[in-house]
Amino acid sequence: MPAPAAEMPALAPWASDPLRSRGRRLAEPGLEAGEAYRVDRERIVHCTAFRRLVYKTQVFLNHEGDLFRTRLTHSLEVAQLARSLARELQLNEDLVETLALAHDLGHTPFGHAGQDALHECMRAHGGFEHNLQSLRVVDVLEQCHARFDGLNLSFETREGILKHCARSQAERLERDEPGGVAQRFLLGQRPSLEAQLVNLADAMAYHAHDIDDGVRSGLLTLEQLLEVPLYRQCHEAALAEHPTLAQAGTRRLLFESIRRLRQRQAEDLVAHSRALLSQHAPADAAAVRALPPLVAFSAGMREAGDALKHFLFGALYRHPRVTHSTDRARQVVAELFQAYLQRADEMPPEHAAQPQRERAVADYIAGMTDRFALREHQRLTGRVLFG
């Protein structure tokens, strides 16, 4: 149920306004213009790629444990965080929620290892990049509407989904859609404030939940975490407020510390962004494009966040136990790619019929969940890489 209108804060003049949307690629006259981003959100939540996120790896491979984040629970945490920040900043909550739920739709199985392997396979055929793939999912690959391929989403949603884009790819997209979602990369412009916000909420969410998953998995210790100044401050603040937590076991203390980490980052982001917004005072959402990023952390918090990110890279993402599984995941993707390339009829007919074989294989593999990829790998190669 939508909240009663009276409880929703008024949108700031620089917020994205669905009534001023640049619209959909195919006009849909029946839709109410003011509902544009809510319609997008509904289409995303009901699409196939969204349901697959539940069985896709975030950091820990999906079969390693039931409590680790998956792409779906990660996306929900990003949506939660982004919505509360949007409310504080009087940005468009519907658009940030839509972007948060859609931001990882193009991810392959097995997290970044899967993407790297697929990119390697596609190097001579245009490469593979998950942001571009997210856009491809919502523009082309979803097949659930009678009148169009994809989901025919609003311009602002599509532009926000395309977070990064290499110049060569931007030029290609711009040829297909002049003045479209890739143009800002060619002009060196910013996306909407809502898209800027979701980018930062994404990093805030995974920093916080990767600490939790890292400790849960036994790969990170409290002693290691206390070497990260931002975490240490949150840990000490939690203990100062609740001294009994020192004896109560590590879980509650960990949760209290992580909650403070999110709060500190959120408060910093809101305060610094408010200052930037009042300093630059963009006349409307369009004026945001030519300005520097206006949703941002203070310099101090950015440095503290970078130090945390650096720590997680070394201690968790490159932990031998994580890289051991990701190496095998890479092998699964690479061998699947070769298998389908040689035997296209092993793919469903709609993929096998695509004229550009390599891209069709990449689309098919990218759409798989971890466990479906493992089943297919076993079926096609007769080998089991994960016991």
Which chain residues interact with Mg ion by CB under 5 A?
104, 202
Tokens representing 367?
């759409």
Comparing CB distances to Mg ion, the nearer of 163 and 351 is 163
Comparing CB distances to Mg ion, the nearer of 77 and 139 is 77
Comparing CB distances to Mg ion, the nearer of 58 and 325 is 58
d(CA 299, CA 190): 19
Comparing CB distances to Mg ion, the nearer of 100 and 347 is 100
**Other Cβ atoms within 10 Å of 9 Cβ, number:** 12
**Other Cβ atoms within 10 Å of 212 Cβ, number:** 18
Comparing CB distances to Mg ion, the nearer of 50 and 337 is 50
Q: At its nearest, how many Å lie between Mg ion and the CB of residue 205?
A: 7
Per-residue DSSP letter, 70: B
Q: Which residues of 239-250 are buried (b: 16+ CB within 10 A; e: fewer)?
A: eeeeeebeeeee
Rounded alpha-carbon distances, angstroms, from residue 278 to 12, 17, 89, 273: 11, 19, 11, 9
d(CA 192, CA 198): 10
Helical spans, DSSP H, in the chain: 36-45, 48-52, 71-89, 93-102, 111-121, 130-136, 155-161, 167-176, 183-187, 193-216, 222-225, 229-241, 250-280, 299-312, 320-342, 349-352, 357-366, 370-381
The residue nearest Mg ion at its CB is 202
Q: At its nearest, how many Å lie between Mg ion and the CB of residue 202?
A: 4
Comparing CB distances to Mg ion, the nearer of 93 and 104 is 104
Q: At its nearest, how many Å lie between Mg ion and the CB of residue 182?
A: 20
Q: At its nearest, how many Å lie between Mg ion and the CB of residue 78?
A: 6
Comparing CB distances to Mg ion, the nearer of 43 and 130 is 130
Q: At its nearest, how many Å lie between Mg ion and the CB of residue 104?
A: 5
Q: At its nearest, how many Å lie between Mg ion and the CB of residue 359?
A: 24
Q: At its nearest, how many Å lie between Mg ion and the CB of residue 284?
A: 29
Per-residue DSSP letter, 20: G
Q: At its nearest, how many Å lie between Mg ion and the CB of residue 203?
A: 8
Q: At its nearest, how many Å lie between Mg ion and the CB of residue 44?
A: 14
CB 89 within 8 A of CB 140: no
CB 98 within 8 A of CB 41: yes
Among the listed residues 72, 74, 75, 70, the one whose alpha carbon sits nearest the alpha carbon of residue 60: 70
Comparing CB distances to Mg ion, the nearer of 206 and 340 is 206
Per-residue DSSP letter, 292: P
**Other Cβ atoms within 10 Å of 168 Cβ, number:** 10
